[in-house]
Chain A
């Protein structure tokens, strides 16, 4: 079988190196990248939180939970994920409906579901369940997908997206939608179709304007013209640009950022932590961070390219691209390239829910990479 030989040929030295680790299903390059990132994150957080050791401890606990979840998932062979996918997706949709019906009001929006002991956001499940579901559906069918199959796949993305957008949580809705769309793109949807859809979306964008909530419109307006409300919603962007810009090439030095420490920069431990990094470590610090992110993403794409089944490669590819979207949207927002949509900087921002989901995604990536078999060896 020709394909098998080509796969064997693709198995490189690094793959052989991981062979001795097959008892332990861990991808060392990915693990190292994530650990370095987490360490950088804690360093910045220490400064951003005004040297609050309590916050640091809590973030460390969250990180440990995240890494723990990743290691556990890495040891589950990928065909199990494939089997569970429809169930996970089904449960996720039901929980989303439940949130809409009985959801507790948290932060003015219905996102949380109180399960007695723990509260969690079902939309977090969908960040993984949607790409898994689309990949599961595509895996059984010849690719590139026929238009009818494409329609059904698109539907599995659109339904949860609309449910999440209704909560209303536009940011997460967009992330979920994009991770599902990545699967379609990787599955080989014709570029012509992609651009047509994008063009159509641009055309109907003004219509969407009328469905946006006031605070969402506010964000778009402030994005386009931050100065229009300098002490209100434009304040975030103006202050974060000042923080990053005043950092210059070398930065003001760790713990020396005046913007952040004088309370001018809002949400400096969470969504706007990138601005603290920019102020204190300058362009050099930012380039280092971007390099770490790029290494992780490149490794992820490599893992996707080495995956052996349609399901696993689609899943791996979309997980790592969704990770990139996080990074890009957050940095784009903080530097004033994109509207403020409330997306955390992966593994650096203070805060928990999305961290665990993200690490679970990396767990699946590791599982995919470390459970490969040498076919007909």
Chain B
């Protein structure tokens, strides 16, 4: 570029630029004048018009939350209700001297440091015309005491709203669940417009699973407010539609018996009606107080619950996974009979251990000296491991897995509770995918006695036991018995869902297995003979112990030497009466040691109460 032209350009550029800047200044000025003219129009010329609009701008649309449905057990025992909770509320802008007001209130009603602190925090966040709660859960007496003195406190009032209440406390808490304050995660799932005005939502259990039935439909009212936002009158209203009441299939009387029998222990009890899948008892212990979650649990209390080694928050019913142990033996025996791997008379000699050919590893029986010659009846009655090692070997893992699958193992029961897990029914495919390993013959053996990889939830075991009891009828377990519209009070019964039938070619095979299970309880040689004293009905059962950790070869299991946490889990599955079962019960006691000693008496207690109530009514 020639320097001369550049110089010439430079000068021209400067002039050009300066003129453009001047143009810009003029345009800016003109546009600002346009803005000012517009504002003069809005604020001077139309001022009166907008002033009137502003004065009349008083109609607020307020949501009216629906009343949450109540929850009852099958006999109408109230499990969850809504109680009016009174709170002391302050409208800051109507209070002249806040500190003095608070001090005077404190003389009437106990107001803690926490309350004041919370209140001051909210004072900063909320609008001065909004009511801010100062004390929650006033007692009737406190409400009365304040009412007499109300004239002394302008801007202070008692507010009432409905709060969820669980009158039975910890009883059946894992099945019931609880409601808690709606948090951000909930907002992503909930229909926000329907939850305008709703503060709580179901967090676990039935309260969560049936949230949409329990909640209802929001209503609205158009409120006229004065210039400081106080409601003067209601212009129009669309009433909310309350949520439906639920009747659960639970029998709280039985539930109480089960929980009392398990007091101080960790474990689960499930009872099902094998004729329709109704869950009569769903207990998981230890429990916790649902009320503490309704109004927001403190971090400290929550940590205590969460970190407790007893895991009170853990719903063992559908999320606890335990090896079924010997309780799986009747199912394996049935598979053996069906696949003709054994007959009712096939006999096996039990020396106390079993070895695979070409392998000197000894798979031990729980009884060191062995059971001698046993057939399938004796093998179930005495829970002979060697018989089932042998049977598992002749069945093979594929057939065993297929047959146990008919009983729903390794699959969710689809019960109406949130968070259910599937357990684990091992197979060759599963092991290849999950462990990248081939299936070993030894693993077939221990699967035959319910150890190894196999995991079941108490609900799964209960469902499987119910199938056994009903001779193969598969009903989906469920907790909901009926729903009820509050407006009509009419009960709508929940129809039980019949899922299918366990394929059994020879019906006599059921009786072979079930009669052996009857022997478990009623025969002097049965493992659960200890619970048959004074029994008035015929019960079929099977004990089980599930190893918490592996015991090395030749090492004797000595309960006393192990810390309690490493004791075996005790299990017991049962149903009654044998001929026409109406109740199936599963008991799991964590680290309980022996199924016959710890778990079986709980099942007996539940059944005793069940039959006593039945003959009584």
Chain A interfacial positions (CB closer than 8 Å to B) = 1-3, 6, 50-54, 142-144, 185-188, 239, 241-249, 258-259, 261-264, 278, 282-283, 286-287, 290, 293-294, 297-298, 301, 304-305, 310, 313-314, 317, 321, 324, 328, 331-332, 335-337
A343–chain B nearest beta-carbon distance, Å? 14
Q: Is the CB of A245 within 8 A of B50?
A: yes
The complex places the Cα of A259 from the Cα of B52 at a distance, in Å, of 12
List CB contacts (< 8 Å) of B2-25 with chain A. 5-7, 9-14, 16-18, 20-21, 24-25
**Closest residue of chain A to B13, judged by CB?**
A143
The complex places the Cα of A297 from the Cα of B28 at a distance, in Å, of 9
Stretch at the interface among B41-49, B198-206, B536-544: B41-49
Q: Is the CB of B13 within 8 A of A301?
A: no
Main secondary structure of the interface of A (DSSP, over half): helix
The complex places the Cα of A147 from the Cα of B423 at a distance, in Å, of 74
Q: Is the CB of B39 within 8 A of A313?
A: no
Beyond A245-B47, A262-B225, A278-B43, 18 additional contacts (C-beta under 8 Å) are A142-B1, A185-B24, A188-B13, A188-B17, A242-B53, A243-B54, A245-B43, A248-B44, A261-B128, A278-B39, A283-B43, A286-B43, A290-B32, A290-B36, A305-B17, A317-B17, A317-B20, A335-B38
Q: Is the CB of B39 within 8 A of A244?
A: yes
**Closest residue of chain B to A262, judged by CB?**
B229
Q: Is the CB of B127 within 8 A of A335?
A: no
Known contacts: A301-B25, A324-B28. The answer to whether A3 contacts B10 by CB under 8 A is yes
Most buried by B among A185, A246, A286, A324: A246
Could you write out 17 A-B pairs with CB less than 8 Å apart? A1-B7, A3-B10, A53-B124, A185-B20, A186-B17, A186-B20, A242-B54, A245-B46, A246-B54, A261-B127, A261-B129, A264-B57, A283-B39, A290-B32, A290-B35, A294-B28, A314-B17
B132–chain A nearest beta-carbon distance, Å? 13
Enumerate chain B residues within 8 angstroms of A328, measured Cβ to Cβ: 31-32, 35
Q: Is the CB of B47 within 8 A of A248?
A: yes
Enumerate chain B residues within 8 angstroms of A305, measured Cβ to Cβ: 17-18, 21
Q: Is the CB of B25 within 8 A of A313?
A: no
Q: Is the CB of B129 within 8 A of A246?
A: no
The complex places the Cα of A335 from the Cα of B46 at a distance, in Å, of 13
The complex places the Cα of A268 from the Cα of B38 at a distance, in Å, of 20
The complex places the Cα of A142 from the Cα of B42 at a distance, in Å, of 48
The complex places the Cα of A147 from the Cα of B225 at a distance, in Å, of 63
The complex places the Cα of A298 from the Cα of B53 at a distance, in Å, of 38
A9–chain B nearest beta-carbon distance, Å? 12
**Closest residue of chain B to A246, judged by CB?**
B54
Known contacts: A282-B43, A301-B25, A335-B39. The answer to whether A310 contacts B20 by CB under 8 A is no
Enumerate chain A residues within 8 angstroms of B43, measured Cβ to Cβ: 244-245, 247-249, 278, 282-283, 286
Enumerate chain B residues within 8 angstroms of A294, measured Cβ to Cβ: 28-29, 32
**Closest residue of chain B to A2, judged by CB?**
B11
B34–chain A nearest beta-carbon distance, Å? 7
Q: Is the CB of A246 within 8 A of B127?
A: no
Q: Report the count of interface residues on B (CB-CB < 8 A).
A: 50
Enumerate chain B residues within 8 angstroms of A53, measured Cβ to Cβ: 124
B1–chain A nearest beta-carbon distance, Å? 7
Q: Is the CB of B127 within 8 A of A287?
A: no
B583–chain A nearest beta-carbon distance, Å? 53
Enumerate chain A residues within 8 angstroms of B16, measured Cβ to Cβ: 143-144, 188
**Closest residue of chain A to B12, judged by CB?**
A143
A324–chain B nearest beta-carbon distance, Å? 5
Q: Is the CB of A301 within 8 A of B24?
A: yes
The complex places the Cα of A289 from the Cα of B124 at a distance, in Å, of 28
The complex places the Cα of A313 from the Cα of B125 at a distance, in Å, of 47
Q: Is the CB of A142 within 8 A of B9?
A: yes
B26–chain A nearest beta-carbon distance, Å? 11
Q: Is the CB of B44 within 8 A of A249?
A: yes
**Closest residue of chain B to A53, judged by CB?**
B124
CB of B40 within 8 Å of the partner chain: yes
**Closest residue of chain B to A316, judged by CB?**
B21
The complex places the Cα of A287 from the Cα of B44 at a distance, in Å, of 13
Chain B positions 227 through 242: 1 when the CB is less than 8 Å from some CB of chain A, otherwise 0: 1010000000000000
The complex places the Cα of A258 from the Cα of B52 at a distance, in Å, of 12
CB of B82 within 8 Å of the partner chain: no
Known contacts: A244-B50, A246-B51, A304-B21. The answer to whether A259 contacts B9 by CB under 8 A is no
The complex places the Cα of A287 from the Cα of B42 at a distance, in Å, of 14
Enumerate chain B residues within 8 angstroms of A263, measured Cβ to Cβ: 60, 127
The complex places the Cα of A194 from the Cα of B358 at a distance, in Å, of 96
**Closest residue of chain B to A290, judged by CB?**
B32
Q: Is the CB of A54 within 8 A of B28?
A: no
Enumerate chain A residues within 8 angstroms of B60, measured Cβ to Cβ: 262-263
The complex places the Cα of A144 from the Cα of B7 at a distance, in Å, of 14
Enumerate chain B residues within 8 angstroms of A287, measured Cβ to Cβ: 36
**Closest residue of chain A to B58, judged by CB?**
A262
Enumerate chain A residues within 8 angstroms of B31, measured Cβ to Cβ: 324, 328
Q: Which of B12, B38, B39, B50 contacts A242 (CB 8 A)?
A: B50
**Closest residue of chain B to A317, judged by CB?**
B21
The complex places the Cα of A188 from the Cα of B227 at a distance, in Å, of 55
List CB contacts (< 8 Å) of B159-192 with chain A. none
Q: Is the CB of A283 within 8 A of B40?
A: yes
Known contacts: A185-B20, A262-B229, A294-B28. The answer to whether A337 contacts B124 by CB under 8 A is no
**Closest residue of chain A to B50, judged by CB?**
A245
Q: Is the CB of A337 within 8 A of B21?
A: no
Enumerate chain A residues within 8 angstroms of B124, measured Cβ to Cβ: 51-54
Q: Is the CB of B54 within 8 A of A259?
A: yes
B92–chain A nearest beta-carbon distance, Å? 10
A335–chain B nearest beta-carbon distance, Å? 5
Q: Is the CB of A283 within 8 A of B44?
A: yes
The complex places the Cα of A172 from the Cα of B53 at a distance, in Å, of 33
Q: Is the CB of A142 within 8 A of B6?
A: yes
Q: Which of A286, A298, A324 contacts B39 (CB 8 A)?
A: A286
B123–chain A nearest beta-carbon distance, Å? 10
The complex places the Cα of A294 from the Cα of B27 at a distance, in Å, of 12
**Closest residue of chain B to A297, judged by CB?**
B28
The complex places the Cα of A128 from the Cα of B75 at a distance, in Å, of 73
Known contacts: A50-B128, A248-B51, A294-B28. The answer to whether A262 contacts B57 by CB under 8 A is yes
Known contacts: A242-B53, A248-B51, A337-B34. The answer to whether A188 contacts B39 by CB under 8 A is no
A58–chain B nearest beta-carbon distance, Å? 13
Q: Is the CB of B54 within 8 A of A258?
A: yes
Enumerate chain B residues within 8 angstroms of A286, measured Cβ to Cβ: 39, 43
The complex places the Cα of A287 from the Cα of B227 at a distance, in Å, of 27
Enumerate chain A residues within 8 angstroms of B126, measured Cβ to Cβ: 50
The complex places the Cα of A143 from the Cα of B43 at a distance, in Å, of 46
Q: Is the CB of B54 within 8 A of A310?
A: no
The complex places the Cα of A53 from the Cα of B121 at a distance, in Å, of 11
B427–chain A nearest beta-carbon distance, Å? 40
The complex places the Cα of A278 from the Cα of B7 at a distance, in Å, of 51
A23–chain B nearest beta-carbon distance, Å? 29
**Closest residue of chain A to B49, judged by CB?**
A245
Known contacts: A142-B6, A143-B16, A188-B16. The answer to whether A246 contacts B53 by CB under 8 A is yes
The complex places the Cα of A294 from the Cα of B33 at a distance, in Å, of 11
B541–chain A nearest beta-carbon distance, Å? 56
Enumerate chain A residues within 8 angstroms of B46, measured Cβ to Cβ: 245
The complex places the Cα of A2 from the Cα of B43 at a distance, in Å, of 53
A267–chain B nearest beta-carbon distance, Å? 16
Most buried by A among B20, B51, B126, B128: B20
The complex places the Cα of A321 from the Cα of B21 at a distance, in Å, of 10
The complex places the Cα of A321 from the Cα of B22 at a distance, in Å, of 12
B283–chain A nearest beta-carbon distance, Å? 44
List CB contacts (< 8 Å) of B54-92 with chain A. 54-55, 57-58, 60
The complex places the Cα of A332 from the Cα of B39 at a distance, in Å, of 10
The complex places the Cα of A291 from the Cα of B423 at a distance, in Å, of 73
**Closest residue of chain A to B124, judged by CB?**
A53
Q: Is the CB of A245 within 8 A of B51?
A: yes
**Closest residue of chain A to B53, judged by CB?**
A242
The complex places the Cα of A262 from the Cα of B17 at a distance, in Å, of 50
Q: Is the CB of A241 within 8 A of B6?
A: no
Q: Which of B25, B35, B36, B42 contacts A245 (CB 8 A)?
A: B42
